[in-house]
Structure 1
């Protein structure tokens, strides 16, 4: 897994807590913050509302398949991908039927 340097601001209280945790666990601040983020993502991955919103983002083409897979797992992501394909085919068929109906009415 690659890494990317990120710069962001934290409230002083959070930074102080991270520094204390780093000292106690003999880790650096970055490791403490990475572990906290990882724990957060593990918690939200179990949240059904989060999953629903994530799937909506995928269906609306706001996130890609790989991102979806990272959060919900390969099997569930593939099921959503298949559903999206069926929905898109249904939309195309509905458009074709509407065009045919207009042609017949003319």
Structure 2
């Protein structure tokens, strides 16, 4: 029997991907330019396929090991990461209500 994601899970995954992309991937620059995938791999220690999923995918269920690597290269704790994510979700929700 094939697994199916519920709509809430899919929204959560897409929100997490968007948060990671906006707060951690897009701000990375090298001499003012957007890095190549290979440069992202070197900077973050996250594998090429995973970087591509973080940048281009929807519905990707980000492993905690990837979140840990994001925290490591960003020099933040997991608790800070998830606090930032909660704030991101609150901001998104408040924008929806306007």
TM-score, normalised to structure 1, is 0.31
